[in-house]
Amino acid sequence: MKKVVFATLLGGFLGIFDGLTAWFTPEVRDQIAGIVVGSTFKGVLTGVIVGFFATKVKSLALGVVFGLAVGAFFAYLILLMNPGHTLNIMLPGSLVGLIVGYAAQQYESTKESTKFEVRSTKV
CA 85 to CA 108: how far, in whole Å?
A: 37
User: What is the predicted pLDDT for the residue at 84?
Assistant: 82
Q: Summarize pLDDT for 69-89 with one digit per residue, the tens.
A: 999 999 999 999 888 888 888
Contacts of the segment 22-31: beta carbons below 8 A, 24+ positions apart: 22/88, 24/88, 25/85, 25/88, 28/85
Give CA 73 to chain center in angstroms: 12
Q: What percent of the chain has pLDDT over 90?
A: 68
For residue 82, what is the DSSP state? S
Q: What percent of the chain has pLDDT over 70?
A: 88
Contacts of the segment 23-29: beta carbons below 8 A, 24+ positions apart: 24/88, 25/85, 25/88, 28/85
* pTM exceeding 0.85: no
User: What is the predicted pLDDT for the residue at 55?
Assistant: 92
Q: Summarize pLDDT for 7-51 with one digit per residue, the tens.
A: 999 999 999 999 999 898 888 889 999 999 999 999 999 999 999
Sequence-distant (6+) residues with CB within 8 A of 60 are: 102, 105, 106
Average pLDDT, the chain: 88
Whether residue 19 contacts residue 40, with contact meaning beta carbons closer than 8 Å, is answered with yes
